[in-house]
C-alpha cells in the first residue's frame, strides 16, 4: 500500500492546475540526475492523512476514481485487409472494460493512420484536438509543440505521484521514463516506450532461386551483385512465362530504410559516439560519412535493370510491392527483420508458398561487410514510441493510470498473445505459440503493438521463454528461417546510446520537412542516369543542409562539446 503515502496537497493542486490551464508548471522539475529512484518515496506529511489525499484526487484506496473519468487514446490505423476497426474490436473492449473496472476510467480510442502518423498528429496538435494519450515516433514533433506550450510537462506529476504508477516504473524503468528529460530545465515532455527486442532490418533473398541456380548465399557486395545479375539473366528459368516480370531487387520510396544494410556497409567502422550523435538526427543515417556511395551502388543497380523500376511511385501503406513479392516476382529486398513472415495466412511467405510451391521462401542473408570486414548493424537504444500528453489533457492522473495499466505484466501479455486455445497455445516447454486467427480476435499489428504502447516486442519475463516464443510466433513458417533472421539482424550490432545534451532548437519544426526532402533526394538519385548521379545527389544534399540540416549539425556539435568536452565516446 506504499502508493497511499505522500500525495501532498501541493501535488494535488499542481496536478489540477496543470490539467485546467493546459500549461506546464512553473515549479522547477528535477534534472535527469535527480529523477526519483526506485527506493524513494514521497513525503507522507500533510493534513488529513493518506485517505484525504487520495480523496482530493477523487480516488479510493484501490486507485479507482469515485466519479467516472474520460480519456482519449491514440491508436494506429494500418488499414489492414481483413482486419478490424482499430478503435473498436475485441482488444479495445478488453482495455476499455479493464480500465473501467480497475480505475473507473472510460477510454475512447482515436485512430490515426500509421503511415502518415507524424503529419496527422501534427495537425491534431495544431488544432488542439490531440488525444489525451498520444504517441509518435517523432520526438522533434513533440518538442516543437512543447516550445509553444502545447505539451504537458510530466516531470512534476511523476516526481510527486510516482507510487501511483508502480507497473509503469517497473517495466519502463527510470532509464526509459526519464530518457528525454532536459538536463538543464528538468522538463519531461514524453515517456519512451520499451523496445524489448532490438531486431531491426534484414536482407532477404529467394532461397529456392539460389538453390535452382546453384548459388551460395552471398556474403559480400560482389557476390550479392552477381546474384542479382544471375536472377535477371535466368528470368525464364526462374519465372517461365512471367520472365518479363522479373525484379531482381526491390525497394520502396523509403530508400533510407529499405537500403540500410547496403548504405551502412559503406560507413567507416571507427565512427565515434560523437560522430553518430552529431550526424545521426536523421534516423535513416542519411548524413553519415560515405552514405552517398551506398546510394551510388543502388543507382548502378537501377541503371542495370536490377531494381524495381516503379519503386518511387507508390506511397507509404501501398500494397503493390508486397503483392509482387507474393506473386513470386522479387528475388531480394531489405526490410523489417521478419517482414516476409508476418501476418499469418496473408504473409508474403504463406502467399508465396501457396502460389509457387512449398520450397519457395525468403531467407535472411548477411552480405555487406564494412571497411573492417564487420557486418555492422546500427541498432536503436532500448526506446520506441514516445508517449506524451497534449496540454489539452484535463486528466493527467487518469492518463498515467492508463499507461500504468497497459504496462502491467498480465495485461500486456494478454494483448500480445490473446486467448489460449484461440490465438495462442502453450507448449510443453512453457513457451507460447500464436495461432493464425481471423474474425474479431485477429490482431491488426504484430503482437498488438498498436495497443501495447509502452512495449514493442515480446517480453514474458523469462529470456529463454521469450526467445522460444518469438520463434514460435509465425504460423506456417519453418522455425529455422526465423532463427536465422533473428540471429543476423543484430549480429555485430552497435546499440544506440543516450547523448542527453538537452534541446536542439534547430530541430524545431524540421522533422517532417527534412524527412520529405531526404526521401525525395534519395529517390531522384537512385533513378538518375549514372552520369547525372553526383549532380543530383550533391545539389539535393546542399538544399537539405541549407534548409536546416547544417544548423542542426552545428548545434548538436556545440551541445556535445558543452556537455562532454573533448570526449568522443559515451560510457
Q: CATH number for the domain including 41?
A: 3.40.190.10
Would you say residue 418 lies in a domain?
A: no
* Shared-domain flag, residues 325 and 340: yes
- Kindly state whether residue 116 falls inside one of the protein's structural domains: yes
Closest CA to 316 of 523, 541, 73: 523
Answer yes or no: is 127 within a domain: yes
**124 occurs within a structural domain:** yes
Same-domain check for residues 8 and 68: yes
- As beta bridge partners, residue 363 has 205
Residues 310 and 165 in one domain: no
36 and 100 assigned to the same domain: yes
Give how far Cα 258 sits from Cα of 38, 77, 262, 335, 374, Å.
40, 22, 9, 6, 20
Query: What residues does 432 pair with on adjacent strands?
Result: 426
Residue 337 in 3-state DSSP?
coil
Give me the residues paired with residue 75 across strands.
111
- Domain holding 210, by residue range, is 201-379+497-564
CA end-to-end span of the chain = 37
How many Å apart are CA 364 and CA 379, to the nearest integer?
Answer: 17
Q: Look up residue 278 and give its three cell numbers.
A: 552529431
CA 442 to chain centre: 21
Domain count, the chain: 2
Pairing of strands 105-113, 69-77: parallel
72 strand-pairing partners: 108
Q: Please check whether residues 187 and 206 belong to one and the same domain.
A: no
- Do the beta carbons of residue 185 and residue 29 sit within 8 Å? yes
Q: Are residues 58 and 130 in the same domain?
A: yes
Cα 421 to Cα 427, 432, 466, distances in angstroms: 11, 11, 19
**pLDDT at 315 (0 to 100):** 93
Indicate whether 268 belongs to any domain: yes
Q: Which three cell numbers stand for residue 32?
A: 535527469
Assigned domain for 489 exists: no
Q: Kindly tell me the burial class for residue 546, based on how many C-beta atoms sit within 10 Å of its own C-beta (0-12, 13-18, 19 or more).
A: exposed
**Nine cell digits for residue 65:** 476514481
Q: Per-residue confidence of the chain (571 residues) as pLDDT tens digits? A: 333 333 332 333 333 333 333 333 332 233 333 333 333 333 343 444 578 878 989 999 999 999 999 999 999 999 988 899 999 999 999 999 999 999 999 999 999 999 899 999 999 999 999 999 999 999 989 999 999 999 999 999 999 999 999 999 999 999 999 999 998 899 999 999 999 989 999 999 999 999 999 999 999 999 999 999 999 999 999 999 999 999 999 999 999 999 999 999 999 999 999 999 999 999 999 999 999 999 999 999 999 999 999 999 999 989 999 999 999 999 999 999 999 999 888 999 999 999 999 999 999 999 999 999 999 999 989 999 999 999 999 999 999 999 999 999 999 999 999 999 999 999 999 999 988 788 999 999 989 999 999 999 999 999 889 988 988 878 789 988 998 999 999 999 999 999 999 889 999 888 889 999 999 999 999 999 999 999 999 999 999 999 999 999 999 999 999 999 999 999 8
**Rama region for 166: left / alpha / beta (φ>0; ψ in -120 to 50; rest):** alpha
253, 307, 526, 341: CA torsion to nearest 10: 40
CB of 27 within 8 A of CB of 14? yes
Q: Are residues 250 and 320 in the same domain?
A: yes
Whether 265 and 398 map to the same domain: the answer is no
List, in sequence order, the alpha helices (H) in 137-290. Answer: 139-146, 155-161, 166-177, 207-212, 221-233, 235-239, 255-258, 260-264, 273-279
Question: Measured between alpha carbons, how far is 438 from 483 in angstroms, rounded to an integer?
Answer: 26
- Please give the Cα distance from 422 to 347 (Å, whole number): 19
pTM check: above 0.75: no
pLDDT value of position 434 = 86
For residues 361 and 353, give the distance between their C-alpha atoms in angstroms, rounded to a whole number.
Answer: 7
CA atoms within 13 A of residue 239's CA, in its CB half-sphere? 23
Q: Is residue 430 part of a domain?
A: no
Residue 159 grid coordinates: 516526481
Say if CB 394 and CB 18 are below 8 A apart: no
Q: Which of 39, 31, 34 is nearest to 2 (CA)?
A: 39
- Contact present, 252 and 258 (Cβ < 8 Å): yes
Q: Are residues 259 and 314 in the same domain?
A: yes
> Looking at the structure, do residues 511 and 365 belong to the same domain, yes or no?
yes
DSSP letter string over 448-499?
Answer: GTTT-TTEES---S-HHHHHHHHHHTSTTS-HHHHHHHHHHHHTTEEE----
Cα separation, 193 vs 176, in Å, equals: 7
Say how far apart CA 311 and CA 239 lie, in whole Å. 20
Q: In terms of domains, do 161 and 211 share one?
A: no
**Are residue 89 and residue 223 in the same domain, yes or no?**
no
**Beta-bridge mates of residue 335:** 202
User: Which of 395, 411, 427 is the last residue in one of the domains?
Assistant: 411
Residue 514 lies in a domain: yes
Amino acid at each position: 500500500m506504499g502508493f497511499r503515502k505522500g500525495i501532498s496537497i501541493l501535488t494535488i493542486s499542481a496536478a489540477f492546475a496543470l490539467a485546467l490551464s493546459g500549461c506546464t508548471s512553473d515549479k522547477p522539475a528535477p534534472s535527469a540526475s535527480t529523477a526519483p529512484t526506485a527506493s524513494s518515496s514521497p513525503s507522507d506529511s500533510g493534513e488529513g492523512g493518506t485517505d484525504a489525499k487520495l480523496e482530493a484526487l477523487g480516488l479510493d484506496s484501490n486507485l479507482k476514481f469515485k466519479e467516472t473519468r474520460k480519456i482519449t487514446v491514440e491508436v494506429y490505423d494500418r488499414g489492414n485487409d481483413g482486419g478490424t476497426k482499430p478503435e473498436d474490436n475485441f482488444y479495445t473492449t478488453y482495455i476499455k472494460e479493464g480500465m473501467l473496472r480497475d480505475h473507473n476510467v472510460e477510454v475512447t480510442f482515436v485512430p490515426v493512420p500509421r503511415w502518415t502518423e507524424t503529419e496527422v498528429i501534427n495537425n491534431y496538435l495544431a488544432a488542439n484536438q490531440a488525444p489525451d494519450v498520444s504517441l509518435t515516433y517523432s520526438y522533434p514533433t513533440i518538442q516543437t509543440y512543447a516550445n509553444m506550450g502545447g505539451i504537458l510537462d510530466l516531470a512534476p506529476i511523476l516526481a510527486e505521484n510516482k507510487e501511483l504508477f508502480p507497473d509503469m516504473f517497473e517495466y519502463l524503468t527510470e532509464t526509459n521514463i526519464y530518457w528525454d528529460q532536459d538536463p538543464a530545465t528538468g522538463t519531461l515532455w514524453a515517456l519512451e516506450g520499451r523496445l524489448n527486442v532490438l531486431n531491426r532490418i534484414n536482407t532477404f533473398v529467394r532461397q529456392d532461386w539460389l538453390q535452382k541456380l546453384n548459388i551460395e548465399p552471398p556474403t559480400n557486395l560482389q557476390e550479392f551483385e552477381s546474384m542479382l545479375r544471375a536472377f535477371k539473366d535466368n528470368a525464364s528459368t526462374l519465372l517461365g512465362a512471367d520472365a518479363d516480370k522479373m525484379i531482381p531487387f526491390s525497394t520502396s520510396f523509403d530508400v533510407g530504410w529499405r537500403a540500410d544494410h547496403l548504405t551502412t556497409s559503406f560507413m567507416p567502422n571507427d565512427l565515434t559516439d560523437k560522430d553518430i550523435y552529431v550526424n545521426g538526427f536523421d534516423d535513416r543515417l542519411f548524413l553519415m560519412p560515405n552514405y552517398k556511395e551506398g546510394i551510388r551502388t543502388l543507382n548502378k543497380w537501377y541503371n542495370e535493370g536490377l531494381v524495381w523500376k516503379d519503386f518511387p511511385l507508390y506511397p507509404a501503406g501501398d500494397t503493390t510491392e508486397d503483392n509482387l513479392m507474393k506473386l513470386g516476382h522479387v528475388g531480394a529486398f531489405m526490410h523489417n527483420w521478419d517482414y516476409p513472415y508476418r501476418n499469418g495466412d496473408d504473409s508474403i511467405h504463406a502467399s508465396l508458398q501457396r502460389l509457387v510451391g512449398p520450397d519457395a521462401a525468403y531467407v535472411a542473408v548477411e552480405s555487406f561487410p564494412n571497411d573492417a570486414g564487420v557486418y555492422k548493424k546500427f541498432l536503436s537504444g532500448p526506446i520506441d514510441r514516445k508517449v506524451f500528453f497534449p496540454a489539452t489533457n484535463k486528466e493527467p492522473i487518469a492518463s498515467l493510470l492508463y499507461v500504468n495499466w497497459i504496462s502491467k505484466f498480465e495485461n500486456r501479455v494478454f494483448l500480445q498473445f490473446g486467448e489460449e486455445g484461440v490465438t495462442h497455445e502453450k507448449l510443453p516447454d512453457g513457451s507460447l505459440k500464436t495461432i493464425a486467427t481471423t474474425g474479431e480476435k485477429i490482431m491488426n499489428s504484430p503482437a498488438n503493438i498498436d495497443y501495447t504502447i509502452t512495449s514493442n516486442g515480446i517480453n514474458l519475463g523469462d529470456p529463454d521463454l521469450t526467445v522460444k516464443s518469438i520463434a514460435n510466433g509465425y504460423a506456417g513458417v519453418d522455425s529455422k528461417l526465423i532463427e536465422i533472421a533473428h540471429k543476423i539482424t543484430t549480429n555485430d550490432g552497435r546499440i544506440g546510446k543516450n547523448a542527453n545534451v538537452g534541446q536542439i532548437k534547430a530541430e524545431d519544426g524540421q522533422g517532417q520537412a527534412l524527412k520529405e526532402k531526404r526521401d525525395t533526394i534519395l529517390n531522384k538519385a537512385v533513378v538518375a542516369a549514372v552520369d547525372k548521379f553526383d549532380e543530383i545527389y550533391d545539389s539535393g544534399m546542399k538544399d537539405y543542409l541549407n534548409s536546416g540540416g547544417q544548423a542542426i549539425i552545428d548545434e548538436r556539435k556545440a551541445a556535445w562539446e558543452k556537455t562532454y568536452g573533448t570526449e568522443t565516446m559515451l560510457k
